[in-house]
């Protein structure tokens, strides 16, 4: 990217230390806390609880019904990002929203109610684009609007598209990120694909057997250098480069040799003008599925060659689970915090090395490491692949 796109605010809600501060989240993540919890179905009967976070939402707010949780987490994450960036007026600010399923739980609720009342459910008002419009109206975000649903790269793509919007001169400030929550539809669907593990999530481990689903919301405030200087804004880091490429290979399975992801990495680096030796940390997609982790390892080797063995890599999904459209945005923030704090978070539950996954995955224990430039990788169904490069302030 030829211009400097700065990140001046972050906001996120995950099952790790939800509704607390950045430092609490980062300490828990670097301590290797496993927040992946099994939950019972149907989720609409879990009233006022957040099982993954092991908390009652009623302790934080008056009433949050299960079907309202998506909007509640979105609002909390957006409020955090806006306050963190010290944005007094959101007019003329754009919004780029990434999600896979949107508020699927609300759709399930309306469908169940319609069935009881023997009525037909019309879901047009619950479309993914309507979510973007609702929150744009709520916060008076009348700049450019984008609804991004590119499978599990949605959060990363939302940030990359927002950065390009600023570079093109369409606006000076964008709020970008993603959100998804668990729903019966999502859980049953991933079980049908036999993608969910009955064991611990073990990214890159020889005995990995699948992913665990997570949930959350995460947003960053992106700003042109001129705008940030004018506001005297604090700066977390910079978006250096971004690229998205498709495998054009299979509906659910990734290209076995990591072709699309390697191309996304290569193009993101070409945009940023950095060389392979400049990347000090990679936050991997790292789902813990057999094919994803092997494909991702091959893609990294394909681009970095021998240098791949010198780069610390970690999968924060080993602790947070896979939060679909929110994942890439959460992991981008993890990269920023790794740069700021000089710490690489661990990949937990790593017990036995896989001869085919032989890179440095920062097993089990966080590591002090000077991170000047980090890369976050995302991959999704349909062969979606994205890479974003983040640099320090």
DSSP per-residue codes, 238-278: EEEEEEEEE--S-SSSPPTT-HHHHHHHHHHHHHHT--GGG
| Catalytic annotation, pick one of 30, 90, 152, 334 | 152
The conformation of residue 355, written as its DSSP 8-state character, comes to T
Tokens found for residue 4: 């400097």
Q: 321 and 202 in contact (C-beta within 8 Å)?
A: no
pLDDT at 61: 61
The residue among 368 and 183 whose pLDDT is bigger is: 368
pLDDT at 59: 63
Q: Is the pLDDT of residue 26 over 70?
A: yes
The residue among 16 and 37 whose pLDDT is bigger is: 16
pLDDT at 3: 64
Instruction: Average the pLDDT over 258-274 and give the result.
Output: 93
334 an active-site residue? no
Q: Is the pLDDT of residue 52 over 80?
A: no
Least confident of 121-135, 160-174, 195-209, 332-346: 121-135
pLDDT confidence tier of residue 306, bands split at 50, 70 and 90: very high
Q: Is the pLDDT of residue 358 over 70?
A: yes
Tens digit of each residue's pLDDT (9 = 90 or more) over 54-84 = 777 766 666 788 888 899 999 999 999 999 9
Per CATH, domain 5-392 is 3.40.47.10: yes
Q: 128 and 109 in contact (C-beta within 8 Å)?
A: no
pLDDT at 124: 67
The residue among 54 and 192 whose pLDDT is bigger is: 192
Q: 363 and 234 in contact (C-beta within 8 Å)?
A: no
Nearest to 337 by CA among 32, 26, 106, 45: 26
Tokens found for residue 103: 């508020």
CA distance 72 to 45: 18
Instruction: Average the pLDDT over 142-170 and give the result.
Output: 96
Q: 346 and 360 in contact (C-beta within 8 Å)?
A: no
pLDDT at 62: 61
CA distances from 171 to 11, 151, 226, 230 (A): 21, 26, 12, 15
Neighbours of 382 (CB within 10 A): 17
pLDDT at 117: 82
322 an active-site residue? yes
pLDDT confidence tier of residue 354, bands split at 50, 70 and 90: very high
Q: What is the average pLDDT value for the chain, to the nearest integer?
A: 92
Q: Which residues share a beta bridge with 368?
A: 343
SS3 of residue 281 by DSSP: strand
pLDDT at 49: 75
285 an active-site residue? yes
Give the list of residues 6+ apart from residue 310 with CB closer than 8 angstroms, or none.
360
CA distances from 173 to 4, 150, 224, 360 (A): 12, 23, 7, 36
- The pTM score is 0.95
CA distance 355 to 270: 30
CA distances from 38 to 214, 220, 271, 374 (A): 10, 29, 41, 32
| Catalytic annotation, pick one of 30, 90, 255, 285 | 285
Instruction: Average the pLDDT over 185-211 and give the result.
Output: 93
| Catalytic annotation, pick one of 322, 334, 335, 357 | 322
pLDDT at 2: 56
Instruction: Average the pLDDT over 223-237 and give the result.
Output: 95
Per-residue b or e along 76-97, where b marks 16 or more CB atoms closer than 10 Å to that residue's CB? bbbebbbebbebeebeebbbbb
Instruction: Average the pLDDT over 265-270 and give the result.
Output: 96
Q: 254 and 295 in contact (C-beta within 8 Å)?
A: yes
pLDDT at 54: 75
Neighbours of 252 (CB within 10 A): 12
Tens digit of each residue's pLDDT (9 = 90 or more) over 82-108 = 999 999 988 899 999 999 999 888 888
CA distance 27 to 24: 5
Beta strands in the chain, from DSSP E residues, in sequence order? 5-13, 49-50, 55-56, 94-98, 145-148, 173-180, 216-224, 237-246, 281-283, 313-314, 343-344, 367-368, 373-380, 384-392
Nearest to 179 by CA among 215, 135, 222: 215
């Amino acid at each position: 990217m030829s211009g400097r796109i700065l990140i001046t605010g972050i906001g996120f809600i995950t099952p790790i230390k939800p509704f607390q501060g950045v430092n609490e989240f980062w300490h828990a993540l670097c301590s290797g806390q496993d927040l992946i919890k099994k939950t019972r179905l149907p989720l609409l009967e879990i009233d006022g609880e957040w099982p993954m976070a092991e908390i009652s939402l009623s302790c934080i707010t008056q009433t949050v019904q299960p079907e309202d949780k998506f909007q509640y987490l979105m609002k909390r994450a957006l409020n955090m990002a806006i306050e963190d960036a010290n944005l007094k007026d959101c007019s003329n600010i754009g919004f780029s929203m990434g999600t896979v399923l949107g508020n699927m739980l609300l759709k399930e609720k309306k469908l169940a109610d319609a069935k009881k009342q023997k009525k037909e459910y019309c879901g047009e008002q619950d479309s993914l684009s309507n979510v973007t419009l609702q929150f744009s109206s709520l916060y008076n975000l009348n700049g450019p609007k984008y609804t991004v649903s590119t499978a599990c790269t949605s959060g990363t793509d939302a940030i990359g598209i927002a950065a390009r919007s600023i570079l093109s001169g369409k606006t000076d400030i964008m709020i970008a990120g993603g959100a998804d929550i668990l729903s019966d539809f999502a859980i049953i669907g991933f079980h049908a694909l036999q993608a969910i593990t009955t064991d611990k999530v073990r990214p890159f481990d020889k005995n990995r057997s699948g992913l665990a689903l997570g949930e959350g919301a995460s947003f960053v405030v992106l700003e042109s250098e001129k705008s940030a200087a004018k506001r005297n804004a604090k700066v977390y880091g910079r978006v250096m480069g971004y690229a998205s490429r498709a495998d054009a290979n299979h509906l659910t399975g990734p290209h076995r040799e990591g072709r699309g992801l390697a191309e996304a990495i290569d193009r993101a680096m070409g945009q940023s003008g950095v060389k392979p030796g400049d990347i000090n940390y990679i936050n991997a997609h790292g789902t813990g599925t057999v094919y994803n982790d092997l494909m991702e390892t091959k893609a990294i080797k394909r681009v970095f060659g021998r240098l791949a063995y010198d780069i610390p890599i970690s999968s924060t999904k080993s602790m947070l689970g896979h939060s679909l459209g929110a994942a890439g945005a959460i992991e981008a923030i993890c990269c920023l915090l790794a740069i700021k704090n000089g710490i690489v978070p661990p990949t937990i539950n790593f017990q036995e090395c896989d001869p085919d996954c032989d890179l440095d995955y920062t097993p089990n224990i966080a590591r002090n490491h000077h991170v000047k430039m980090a890369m976050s990788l995302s991959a999704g169904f349909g062969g979606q692949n994205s890479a974003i490069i983040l640099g320090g302030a």
